[in-house]
Amino acid sequence: MRTRTRKKPVDRQRAERMIARGALFVVGALAIGALGGWTKRVRAAEDKTALDPRRVARQFGSLGDQVLAAQGETALAKVQLERANAVIDYSAKYQIPADLAADVYDVALSEGIDPSLGYRLVKIESDFQRNARSPMGALGYTQLQLTTARFYDHSLTEQKLLEREVNLRIGFRFLKDLTKQFDGDTHLALLAYNRGPGRVAQILERGGDPKNGYSDAVLKGYEPPRTVAETQGGWR
């Protein structure tokens, strides 16, 4: 049994403080700049002549645009903070480096998979080991057979399939496709991921039960998103 050394997860509180301060700085600077610029223009106008209503309207319009921009920066900062918090949590939970936690999170979202499910899949398949190889020749984080992966990219080699993003992306895409094939049934999709979709479909056609404990292991402690808003597009 190999002994592996994990990198220490990032300091959660320190990361949160840095991101929060950066967000407040951006929003504050934009708001102060917008208000300051408008005030200067108004004062300059007052020093010369009575305010032109059309000029005032333009100035208010410009100020409104800048405020909206500041609000957009606030929303972006909030999303970035939520992502950072999630990555920190998963890094600590699974005792994996922050960059790996971030890649699993980002690739899962981009492929329409709940990140929590993505982490569980990688944990069960490879225990987050990049060079994991099964006796059947399944490779990498998501333990893909090269023949299966080549359905998505005909040019793949074993070395390419071991690359982190490639392996995660194809593995999550395969699981997403299986979820669609089995009408949103996550248990069946996972069983098909483990046993092969043809084998699972054959067992179901005969009235059998394809369960072998795999889907239960992946879903142990997993809580699916409760609303469409939480799912970034409604995975099941």
96 close to 6: Cβ distance less than 8 angstroms: yes
Q: Which of 180, 140, 184 is nearest to 163 (CA)?
A: 140
- Measured between alpha carbons, how far is 116 from 104 in angstroms, rounded to an integer? 9
Question: DSSP 3-state helix, strand, coil percentages of the chain (rounded to 5)?
Answer: 65, 0, 30
Give dist(CA 132, CA 80) in Å, integer.
Answer: 31
d(CA 136, CA 146) in angstroms, rounded, equals 11
Question: Which region, left, alpha or beta, applies to residue 128 given φ > 0 means left and ψ of -120 to 50 means alpha?
Answer: left
Provide CB contacts within 8 A for 198, sequence distance 6+. none
| Active-site residue flag, 125 | yes
The span from the CA of 101 to the CA of 123, in Å, is 11
Backbone phi, psi, residue 144, to 5°: -95, 140
**Which of 16, 46, 125, 158 does the annotation list as catalytic?**
125
Question: Phi and psi at residue 139, in whole multiples of 5°?
Answer: -120, 145
Catalytic residues: 125
